[in-house]
Amino acid sequence: MKTGVLTTMLDILLPRLCTACRSPLKPWEEGLCLTCLAQLPLTHFHEDAENPLAQVFWGRVQLEQAVAWFYFRKGSAYQDVLHQLKYEGRSDIGVLLGREFGFHLIHSQQFTLPDTIIPVPLHPKKLRQRGYNQSAEIGRGLGRAIGVPMIQNCLVRLSHTDTQTRKSRFERYLNVSGKFQVQHPGMLQGHHLFLVDDVVTTGATLEACAEALLTIPEVKVSIGALCWAKD
C-alpha cells in the first residue's frame, strides 16, 4: 500500500486535529492548521530593537536583543495550544512553533542571529515529571530554522521553585534570583547566546538566567520567547 493512501486512511480513522481550532489537519499540515498559524497575534518585535519587551529589561540586565513572537491572550485558542505543549505531552508543538518563529527571525532586517541557543532549564524533578523541557523543544525548532546549535547542559536550575503564577513582579524575581548556575563556561565563552523560553510575563526568570550567563567572559545574551503575556 502506498504511503499516501495509508496516510489518508489513518487520517479518516484517527483524524489529526489542529491544536487551536480542532479542525482536521490537511496531510501537509502539522500541529496547527495554516489558518491558525496565519492568525497568530504577532508582535513583530524582531523588527524593532527598542520594542516594548526589550524595554522591560532596560536597567535590569544587559541584553543585546529581546523578542517574543506573538501575544499571549487568556481565553484564546492559543492558550490551549501552550497548555498542550507544557502539560499534555505535545512536545511536537514546541518544535513546530520554534521553527516558525525562527523563519521569521532569519528574514528580519533588524534582528542579529545568535550562534548558540540556550533553553531555560527545568529542575530535574520537573523534567522527570514532564518528560521533556518545553523550552528545549522550542529551541530545537528554532535551531533547525536558523541553523545554529542548542546546548542544554551549561545552564542548570539549582532548586525547584514555586510556580510564578499569581506572584507580583518583585516576588517573581525573588523566587528565581540566584537559582540558575553555569556549568562548563568555557563551552560558551565568546558566544552570542539566545536564551529561549515559552512565555515571558515579568521577565524575572529570563533575567535570572541572563545574569548567570553574563558571568561568562566575552559572552553576549539575547532572549526570545514564543509569546509575551503582558501583565
Top pLDDT among 164 and 133 is at 133
Tell me 109's DSSP state.
S
The pLDDT of residue 159 is 73
| Confidence band, pLDDT 50/70/90 cuts, at residue 176 | low
Helix residue ranges, H only, 149-193: 169-176
Output the pLDDT for position 75.
Answer: 85
User: Does the pLDDT of residue 171 top 80, yes or no?
Assistant: no
pTM of the shown model? 0.87
**What is the rounded CA–CA span in Å between residue 13 and residue 38?**
28
Q: Sorting pLDDT into bands at 50, 70 and 90, what band is 162?
A: low
Side chain identity, residue 146? I
Which is more confidently placed, 9 or 130?
130
**pLDDT band, residue 44 (cuts 50/70/90):** very high
Band of pLDDT at residue 175, cut at 50, 70 and 90:
low
Residue closest to 32 by CA, chosen among 77, 89, 88 = 77
Instruction: Give all strands (DSSP E) within 9-127, no chain letters.
Output: 66-71, 116-119
Segments of the chain assigned to CATH 3.40.50.2020: 40-228
| Average pLDDT rounded to a whole number, residues 14-29 | 91
CATH code, residues 40-228: 3.40.50.2020
- Residue 42 phi/psi, 5-degree rounding, is -70, 145
Average pLDDT, the chain: 89
Indicate the pairing of strand 180-182 with strand 155-157.
antiparallel
Average pLDDT over residues 213-227: 97
